[in-house]
Chains A and B, each alone.
Chain A
Amino acid sequence: MAKDELMNYEKALEQFEVVIGLEVHVELNTNTKMFCGCRNEFGNEPNTNVCPICIGLPGSLPAVNKKAVESSIKIGLQLGCEIAPNGRFARKNYFYPDLAKNFQTSQFDEPIAFEGALDVEVPSGKVFTIQIERAHMEEDAGKLTHVGGSTGRIQGAEYSLVDYNRAGVPLVEIVTKPVYGAGAEAPELAAAYVRLIREIVKSMNVSDARMERGNVRCDANVSLRPHGQEKLGTRTETKNVNSLRSIERAVRYEIQRQAALLAKGVAITQETRHWHEDKGATSSGRPKSDADDYRYFPEPDLVPVQPSKAWIEEIRATLPENPADRRKRVQAEWGFADLEFRDVVNAGLLDQIEETVKAGAKPQAARKWWTGELARIANTQDQDVTDLEISGAYVAELAGLVEAGKINDRLAREVLTFVLAGEGSPAQVVAARGLEVVSDDGALIAAIEAALAKQPDVLDAIREGRMQAAGAVIGAVMQAMKGSADAGRVRELLIEMANK
């Protein structure tokens, strides 16, 4: 991969206006696939969740999964879209071995949902309104694994394996209109938008929304134009961006790459590009021109999807609070400062903190654990904090143990690692591993006396009001008791001893 020349980011923004457009694919978590009765499940043996329909055998016909339609309508409504009274499926024709029928059953000019809008807040606190052009239903393709060759791509591979378990899994593709005016914050906006979409689909339980499993996938369109120019620049579409961090990085990279080319007078090629997380760079995929001819036509094997007004209203009544309202509500309830709250939102931790607070934790304690220690652990494991295997109830229990003085912060961190390793609830871990703090005065006094024997001046110092001198003894006691001492009690005992 040849190294791209990049322009300094600030310089690029001085010279060009950034326009982005985002296409987000959401895999629905229905029990069965879009057009057949096969299980919609991740991680099974290849080609076990397949039937004549999803592998496109001659004679087979699709039948629409009503649950998938319902989930799509939910998404459309939560994006503020109109729901089409007469949504039609269409065939998108192209040959590729992961596409069983060599056409994708999708929607073209009559999508199920259209014309919505979403307010998206970026880390600076600024709010952008993103216009949603459409949300349409379609089926996922199978998964190809290219064996041999150096690139992992189909070109140069010795052979390729195809797994049709994913073929026919229901997808909703959400397409934005071009987004103008985000300027330097375009990368953050892209990531914040996808985060919000994840939040929306998770809150309605229509998708597992796990990016590392491809439940939510983003294609990011980026183009630049000189400030003041009306005509849009040539865009690239970066695919394969499978984490929020990657989205931000990929958009920033494309801005810098395109700026460098444009500054030299080189035209941008309209193409798909692939994001490489390891290299932190995009590379050229296939050229994609507007003349790409998918020969769309109405799917003759399916009748139009005609959701009744009554059904739509029934679904609307079941929708959870929309994310913007919810954010306002919980911030007030929890009493978080704007900056604290923004950190929570940016980490995608609203659900977790809400669950933790519901389980009895104080909001600030919940926030502290999730954005602090848990976020740190996730980071060292190169994981999203929201994907950690720990429930809000456990975090609340942990915070409760600390508050009750059963364990101290240091012990609590230790307990957390065992909880994450699957050893049970915090209370169970404390009991099983004997991690409770020692507040038995007899044991503490013995340890304090042992420490004082080495530092006899300390009691005098305390009597003279130099409390910092106590620290050395507390430290020594903690060390001697392998951290299980209740530091507060040690301090109290020391003062008592000094005043005797």
Chain B
Amino acid sequence: MSDLIRKSASEQAELLRTGQVSSVELTQAHLDRTAAVDGDVHSYLHVGPEAALAAAADIDRRRAAGEQLHQLAGLPIAVKDNLTTTDAPTTSGSKILEGWVPPYDATVVAKLRAAGMPILGKTNLDEFAMGSSTEFSAYGPSKNPWDLGRIPGGSGGGSSSVVASFQAPLAIGSDTGGSIRYPAFVTGTVGAKPTYGAVSRYGLIALASSLDQVGPVSRNVLDSALLQDVIAGHDPHDSTSLPESLGSMAEAAKKLDVKGMRIGVIKQLNGEGFAAGVSARFNESLQLLQQAGAEIVEVDCPSFEYAIAAYYLILPAEASSNLAKFDSVRFGLRVTPEGTPTIERVMAATREAGFGPEVKRRIILGTYALSSGYYDAYYGSAQKVRTLIQRDFDAAFAKADVLVSPTAPSVAFKFGEKLDDPLAMYLNDIATIPANLAGIPGIAVPNGLAEENMPSGIQFLAPAREDARLYQVGATLEKLHEDVWGKRMIDFAPELQEAR
């Protein structure tokens, strides 16, 4: 493996800026790595070498011509396959969209192109981002680069594994209940879910519109901050996008200082239910932060008990409506059944064949939850819980500048372990879901090895629009860790076998 691709995104960008490497060379190095390892890891659903190299060559030409370029120009990136791209198929991990090439770019994709970042390919995910392991991808799971027998997290297991296996310096993910942060936790990488509305959702194939948020995936905190700065900003195409700028995340990630910062440990997301190793690493990090001058306090969020229940009503309800458009009429798969093909029968046959089991499960749940006579009891109650959770956060943020918990209860599980037990699968999201319900930002940062020498992680949460605090505390902890460990978290990962 070339040393070049082991470097962080910001280091690679520096080499590009100083002319020590060309974008074509850098892009090719990552494509070579993909050719060598992705047969095993399966991060990508689609790799687009031609488009990526053409974009890279364009940037090299413009740089040679002395053009003023974006600081990340020429740095290649991978994009989760639920964001629309005009030059690559976009499937959202579903058979119902197999081969569909959208006629428009997602706003985030357009921003990457405008910054001059070549898009390497589209990364794997659980179908329509419904899952925690990529086992529900219609195109087969991605593997955890730390142990190919284990899951890379979900739904964004493609994006987490693609950076963890050095196939890309950066990736785009989407987080509806933890789909960026949980994969970061199990792969020893960084992932952030920005404040709801900080990044445009236009072109993100919706799972649950009120919960979805696009965010960065990387190997260190500064790299995620740099990427969030590229993709954030108001978009008139997305009515829910914030009108104001949240400032520079990269600047925040360079403030390695937590003195006087009040860090609130969420009582409900600590101890019981969390694996011993995960908890031990968590407590060690609290000590590091305290030694660095932070004030550790405990906060009480009693409504979190109902978060998963509320989430699994709101999400399926919105998803059941968002997924109604997949009907064979205008795009995507069309299945014509035997006999008289009426529109109802064609729609039904297409959806029967095109959707996988988890998608069907959630469509049925959501349709039921919105049904007349059940709406108040299910969807209505879930919305009330959502309000209570927001109040819990408000109270907690009165006592603390940021909140903290382990990102998830336990290290990466083995393939198949939870496939037949949806409830056990849903519990992986216990610590990540509350942020989505409240629309607040969260970041997952590597937090040392726990059970079976697998990575664990720590999550920081901040009030809405205060994403900068997360990058500051996350980068500080990352630095404290490196001082203790003598190397980066990702450097503990075993070498992958490269195919010839």
Q: Which residues of A contact B (CB under 8 A)?
A: 52, 55-64, 91, 93, 95, 97, 100-103, 154, 160, 162, 291, 293, 295-297, 300-303
Which B residues are in CB contact (< 8 Å) with A293?
371-372
Tell me if B92 counts as interface (CB < 8 A to partner A): yes
Contacts beyond the supplied A97-B327, A295-B371, A301-B209: 16 A-B pairs with Cβ under 8 Å = A52-B102, A57-B84, A58-B92, A58-B97, A58-B205, A59-B206, A63-B239, A91-B321, A95-B344, A102-B325, A103-B324, A295-B375, A300-B209, A301-B206, A302-B239, A303-B240
Count class of interface residues, chain B: 35 or more
Task: Name the one of B82, B102, B327, B370 contacting A295, with C-beta atoms under 8 angstroms.
Answer: B370
The listed residue with most B CB atoms (<10 A of its CB), out of A57, A63, A64, A291, is A57
For chain B, residues 312 to 361, give those with C-beta under 8 angstroms from any C-beta of chain A: 317-318, 320-321, 324-327, 329-331, 343-344, 347
With beta carbons under 8 angstroms apart, the residue of A55, A64, A160, A297 that contacts B379 is: A297
Closest approach, in angstroms, between the C-beta of A56 and any C-beta of chain B? 5
A56 touches B370 (CB 8 A): no
Output the least CB separation between A215 and chain B (Å).
26
| Chain B residues with CB under 8 A of A301 | 206, 209, 239-240
Q: How far is the CA of A120 from the CA of B332 in the complex (A)?
A: 51
Q: Which residues of the other chain, B, contact A103 by a CB distance below 8 angstroms? A: 321, 324
Instruction: Tell me if A60 and B371 are in contact (CB < 8 A).
Output: no
Our pick among A57, A61, A95, A295 for the contact of B201 (Cβ within 8 Å) is A61
| Least Cβ–Cβ distance between B439 and chain A, in angstroms | 11
A–B complex contacts, Cβ < 8 Å, 21 sampled: A57-B84, A57-B102, A57-B103, A59-B90, A59-B102, A60-B203, A61-B202, A63-B236, A93-B370, A95-B327, A100-B325, A100-B330, A101-B325, A160-B343, A293-B371, A295-B321, A297-B317, A297-B321, A297-B379, A300-B209, A302-B239
0 or 1 for each of B94-107: is its CB under 8 Å from A? (1 = yes): 00010010111010
Q: Which 8 A-B pairs have the closest CB atoms?
A: A102-B324, A300-B209, A295-B370, A300-B210, A59-B203, A58-B205, A59-B84, A56-B325
Give A97 to B344 CA distance when docked, in angstroms: 9
B209–A295 CB distance below 8 A: no
Complex CA distance for A58 and B202, rounded to whole angstroms = 10
Q: A52-B104, A61-B201, A160-B343 are in contact. Are A93 and B238 (CB under 8 A)?
A: no
Q: B324 — which chain A residues lie within 8 A by C-beta?
A: 93, 95, 101-103
**A267 to B439, alpha carbons, bound, how many Å?**
52
- By the criterion CB–CB under 8 Å, are B329 and A97 in contact? yes
The answer to whether the Cβ of B83 comes within 8 Å of any Cβ in the partner chain is yes
Q: Which single residue of chain A is at the shortest CB-CB distance from B100?
A: A58
Residues of A with C-beta under 8 A to B327: 95, 97, 102
Report A51 CB to chain B, min CB distance, Å.
8
How many residue pairs link A and B with beta carbons under 8 A? The number is 103
The distance from the CB of A305 to the nearest CB of chain B, in whole angstroms, is: 10
Could you tell me the distance between the alpha carbons of A100 and B324 in the complex, rounded to whole angstroms?
9
User: A62: which B residues are within 8 A, CB to CB?
Assistant: 239
B237: CB under 8 A from chain A? Answer: yes
Inter-subunit contact A303/B239 (CB<8 Å): yes
Given A56-B330, A95-B324, A162-B329; A61-B370 close (CB under 8 Å): no
Q: Given A58, A154, A160, which contacts B325 in the complex, CB threshold below 8 Å?
A: A58
Residues of B within 8 A of A93 (CB): 320-321, 324, 370
Interface residues of B in 205-245 (CB under 8 A from A): 205-206, 208-210, 236-240
Q: Which residues of A lie under 8 Å from residue B343 when comparing CB positions?
A: 97, 154, 160
Residue B367 lies at the interface, judged by CB distance under 8 Å to chain A: yes
Tell me whether B321 and A52 are in contact (CB under 8 A): no
**Most interface-central of A60, A61, A93 (chain B CB within 10 A):** A61
Residues of A within 8 A of B83 (CB): 59
Contact check, B372 vs A291: say whether CB atoms are below 8 A apart. yes
Closest Cβ–Cβ distance, residue A82 to chain B (whole Å): 24
The smallest C-beta distance from A36 to any residue of chain B, in angstroms, reads 9
Whether B325 and A59, one on each chain, are in contact in the complex, defined by CB atoms closer than 8 angstroms, is no
Give A291 to B372 CA distance when docked, in angstroms. Answer: 8
On chain B, the residues within 8 Å of A302 by CB distance are: 239-240
CA A360 to CA B102, docked complex, whole Å? 59
Of A52, A160, A162, A300, the most chain B CB neighbours within 10 A belong to: A300
Q: Chain B residues near A101: list those with CB within 8 A.
A: 324-325
The closest CB in chain A to the CB of B367 belongs to A295
CB distance from A351 to the nearest CB of B (A): 37
Complex CA–CA separation, A63 to B236 (angstroms): 7
How many angstroms between the C-alpha atoms of A91 and B206 in the bound complex? 15
> Cα distance A295–B375 when bound, in Å?
8
Q: Which of B90, B209, B237 contacts A58 (CB 8 A)?
A: B90
In the complex, residue of chain B having the shortest beta-carbon distance to the beta carbon of A58: B205
| Residues of chain B within 8 A of A154, CB atoms compared | 343
User: Would you call B190 an interface residue if the criterion is a C-beta within 8 Å of the partner chain's C-beta atoms?
Assistant: no
> Is A59 touching B379 in the complex (CB atoms < 8 A)?
no
Q: Which of A63, A162, A303 contacts B237 (CB 8 A)?
A: A63
Q: How far is the CB of A422 from chain B (nearest CB, A)?
A: 41
Bound-complex Cα distance A160 to B371 (A)? 30
Given A56-B330, A63-B239, A102-B325, CB of A297 within 8 Å of CB of B90: no
Interchain nearest-CB distance for A285 vs B (Å): 17
* A351–B325 CA distance with the chains assembled, in angstroms: 44
Give the Cβ gap from A300 to chain B, nearest Cβ, in Å: 4
Known contacts: A52-B103, A100-B325. The answer to whether A58 contacts B84 by CB under 8 A is: yes
* Inter-subunit contact A57/B104 (CB<8 Å): yes
- Chain A contacts for B202, CB-based, 8 A: 59-61
A contact residues around B92 at 8 Å (CB)? 58
Which A residues are CB-close (under 8 A) to B138?
none
B204 at the interface (CB under 8 A from A): yes
Instruction: Give B438 Cβ to nearest chain A Cβ, in Å.
Output: 15
Complex CA gap A63/B201 in Å reads 12
Contact (A61, B238) CB under 8 Å given A55-B330, A295-B371, A300-B209:
yes
Give CA–CA (A103, B322) in the complex, Å. Answer: 9
Contact mask for chain B residues 5-38; partner A; CB cutoff 8 A; 1 contact, 0 none: 0000000000000000000000000000000000
Q: Once the chains are docked, how many angstroms separate the CA of A289 from the CA of B106?
A: 41
In the complex, what residues of B have CB within 8 A of residue A303's CB? Answer: 239-240
- Nearest-Cβ distance from residue B167 to partner chain A, whole angstroms: 24
Q: Smallest Cβ distance from A301 to chain B, in angstroms?
A: 5
Complex Cα–Cα for A386 and B356 (A)? 57
